[in-house]
Amino acid sequence: MKPILEMRNISKRFTGVQALLDVDLQLFAGEIHSIIGQNGAGKSTLMKILSGTYTADSGVIYINGKQVQISSTADSAKLGIGIVYQELSLLNNLTVAENIFLGREIVNGVQLDNAKMSDMARKSLLELGIENIDVDQNVEVFSLAKRQLIEIAKVISIYPRILILDEPTAALTNEDTRRLFNILFKLKEQGICIVFISHRLAEIKKYCDSGTILMNGRVTANVRMNEVNELQIIEYMLEDNFNTFHRKWRTKQHKKQPLLELSDIYLHNQVNYVSCEIFPGEITGFTGLLGAGQDILWRIVYGAQRKDSGEIRINGKRVRITCPSDAVQFGIGLLTENRKEEGLFPEMTCQDNIALPSLKHFRIRKYTPLLHNRRIRNSCNDLAKRLSIKMRSLSAKVKLLSGGNQQKIIVSRWLMKDLDILVFIEPTRGVDVGAKTEIYRILESLASQGKAIVVISTDTTEILQLSDRIYIMVDGKISTTLNEPTDEETLARLIQGNPEKKVIA
pLDDT score at 432: 67
Distance, in Å, from the CA atom of 402 to the CA atom of 452, rounded to the nearest integer, reads 27
pLDDT score at 499: 39
pLDDT score at 252: 57
pLDDT score at 153: 86
DSSP code, position 104: S
Q: Which residues of the chain have pLDDT under 50?
A: 241-242, 251, 498-501
Q: Which fold has domain 5-238?
A: Rossmann fold (3.40.50)
* Cα–Cα distances in angstroms (integers) from residue 311 to residues 334, 360, 419, in the given order: 19, 30, 21
pLDDT score at 500: 47
Helical residues (DSSP H) of 303-432, grouped into ranges: 324-329, 339-342, 350-355, 373-386, 403-417
Q: How large a percentage of the chain has pLDDT more than 90?
A: 47
- The yes/no answer on whether domain 260-504 falls in CATH 3.40.50.300 is yes
- 5-238 and 260-504 have identical folds: yes
Domain ranges of the chain: 5-238, 260-504
* Cα–Cα distances in angstroms (integers) from residue 136 to residues 117, 120, 122, in the given order: 10, 12, 10
Distance, in Å, from the CA atom of 470 to the CA atom of 466, rounded to the nearest integer, reads 10
- CB count within 10 Å of CB 41 equals 26
What is the three-state SS of 392-407? CCCCCEHHHCCHHHHH
pLDDT score at 497: 67
Cβ contact 195:30 at 8 Å:
no
| Residue 483, SS3 per DSSP | coil
Cβ contact 148:96 at 8 Å:
no
- Reference 305, options 326, 286, 290; nearest CA is 326
- The reported pTM is 0.59
| Residue 486, SS3 per DSSP | coil
DSSP code, position 79: T
Quick: pLDDT tens for 125-166.
887 777 789 999 999 888 777 888 888 888 888 888 999 998
| Residue 375, SS3 per DSSP | helix
Order of strands, sheet of 332-335, starting from the edge strand that comes earlier in the sequence: 332-335, 421-425, 452-456, 283-287, 469-474, 477-482, 502-504
Cβ contact 147:170 at 8 Å:
no
Query: Which amino acid is residue 260, in one-letter code?
Result: L
Question: What distance, in Å, lies between the first and last C-alpha atoms of the chain?
Answer: 59
DSSP code, position 372: -
